[in-house]
């Protein structure tokens, strides 16, 4: 009976934890949808029937938001500036899946505490060796605490891969608009609004920075910092130099897109050259033993049962 109660308590705790994390991630979208519903929603029979559900959702979200804000305020006082800067770099490279470094660190702490409590309530009372149970609890808590950092690394890798994949088509389209007579800023804005992906989002952010008073050079430098891709950074450096020297952007982008496609072909060749080496270990440890069993198995069975003279 005690284990069942602990199980329900743990399930409720984890529900609140994940609700808080999801609320912190989708806070802007929830606020936007709420404002849209308040502005354009028409009161009626359907709205009145849905009112109690909306009230319950708003109350629960308000409670979660209140405790989450208390946690962020507490961590904001405890975290050092160097740690905040390090976390901001990780979030920037991953495309800002969290609003701030404080929210990310609070998510780490909540996940770590949740994993430790889960093991503490469900596993430690059952295990006879208590020291092993405490060690397992600490290990699971540490793994849950480090999981968001690992997730940021995966997001960073996927983001860089998607940016490198979309650069050639993106700059090709920008080059066509430049040759048609558009300016660079207008061409970037038009292509970024019509194409989707992290590359378009970054250029839209760059254009917003320019509208707020940054020069093109400063905005491009900030863009170069935000995207940790060597090939993309070399392209942005070429654009900055061309803008400083007054070289035609259409000519520069044409040469850059050729170079990008050549780099992609070389990367594909490199991956093809690595394929035999990567296939060696699976073949030696998995494929060859199976082949030997299929080919030599009947012979071994024959020798064991009938001997050499059979």
**What's the Cα-to-Cα distance from 4 to each of 123, 130, 147, 265, rounded to whole Å?**
13, 21, 28, 58
CA–CA gap between residue 306 and residue 310 (Å, rounded): 5
Looking at residue 283, the DSSP 8-state letter turns out to be I
Q: What is the pLDDT of residues 256-278, one digit of tens each?
A: 888 888 888 888 888 888 888 88
DSSP string, 60-99: HHHHHHHHHHHHHHHHHHHS-HHHHHHHHHHHHHTT-SSS
- Assigned token pair, 102: 């404080």
Torsion angle of C-alpha atoms 267, 273, 277, 278, degrees rounded to 10 = 40
Neighbours of 135 (CB within 10 A): 11
Distance CA 100, CA 117 (A): 26
Query: Do 18 and 111 contact (CB within 8 A), yes or no?
Result: no
More confident site: 261 or 17:
261
Mean pLDDT in the chain?
79
Q: What are the pLDDT digits (tens) for 174-227?
A: 888 888 888 888 888 999 998 888 889 889 999 998 998 888 889 989 888 888
Residue-wise pLDDT for 58-116, tens only, equals 666 677 777 777 777 877 888 888 888 888 888 888 888 888 888 888 888 888 888 88
Q: Which of 243, 189, 248, 256 is nearest to 215 (CA)?
A: 243
Judge whether residue 36 has pLDDT over 70: no
Tell me how far CA of residue 129 lies from CA of 26, 117, 122, 134, 135, in angstroms: 42, 18, 14, 9, 10
* pLDDT score, position 57: 54
CA distance to 78, 83, 108, 210, per residue, from 75 (Å): 5, 11, 12, 33
The more confidently predicted of residues 169 and 75 is 169
- Residue 34: predicted pLDDT: 61
CATH 1.10.287 assigned to 161-264:
no
Q: What would the pLDDT profile of 5-16 be if each residue is shown by its tens digit?
A: 555 556 566 666
Please check whether residue 156 is in contact with residue 94, taking contact to mean a CB–CB distance below 8 angstroms.
yes
For the chain, which residues make up each domain, given as ranges? Answer: 2-40+47-157, 161-264
Q: What is the mean pLDDT of residues 280-295?
A: 86
Predicted local distance difference test score (pLDDT) of residue 14 = 62
In contact, 148 and 104? CB cutoff 8 Å? yes
């Amino acid at each position: 009976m005690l284990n069942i109660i602990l199980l329900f308590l743990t399930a409720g705790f984890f529900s609140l934890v994940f609700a808080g994390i999801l609320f912190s991630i989708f806070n802007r979208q929830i606020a936007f949808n709420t404002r849209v519903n308040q502005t354009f929603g028409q009161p009626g029979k359907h709205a009145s029937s849905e009112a109690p559900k909306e009230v319950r959702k708003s109350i629960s979200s308000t409670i979660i938001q209140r405790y989450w804000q208390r946690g962020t305020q507490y961590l904001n006082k405890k975290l050092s500036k160097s740690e905040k800067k390090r976390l901001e770099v990780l979030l920037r490279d991953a495309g800002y899946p969290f609003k701030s470094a404080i929210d990310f660190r609070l998510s780490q702490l909540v996940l770590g505490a949740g994993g430790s409590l889960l093991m503490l309530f469900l596993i430690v009372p059952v295990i006879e060796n208590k020291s092993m149970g405490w060690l397992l609890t600490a290990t699971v808590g540490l793994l849950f605490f480090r999981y968001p950092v690992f997730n940021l690394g995966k997001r960073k890798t996927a983001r860089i891969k998607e940016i490198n994949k979309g650069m050639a088509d993106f700059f090709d389209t920008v080059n066509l608009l430049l040759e048609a007579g558009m300016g660079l800023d207008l061409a970037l804005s038009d292509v970024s609004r019509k194409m989707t992906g992290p590359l378009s989002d970054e250029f839209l952010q760059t254009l917003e920075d320019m509208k707020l008073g940054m020069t093109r050079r400063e905005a491009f430098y900030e863009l170069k910092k935000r995207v940790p891709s060597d090939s993309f950074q070399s392209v942005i450096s070429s654009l900055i130099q061309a803008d400083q020297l007054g070289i035609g952007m259409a000519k520069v982008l044409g040469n850059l897109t050729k170079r990008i496609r050549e780099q992609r072909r070389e990367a594909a060749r490199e991956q093809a050259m690595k394929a035999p080496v990567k296939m060696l270990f699976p073949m030696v440890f998995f494929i060859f033993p199976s082949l030997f069993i299929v080919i030599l198995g009947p012979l071994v069975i024959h020798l064991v049962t009938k001997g050499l003279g059979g």
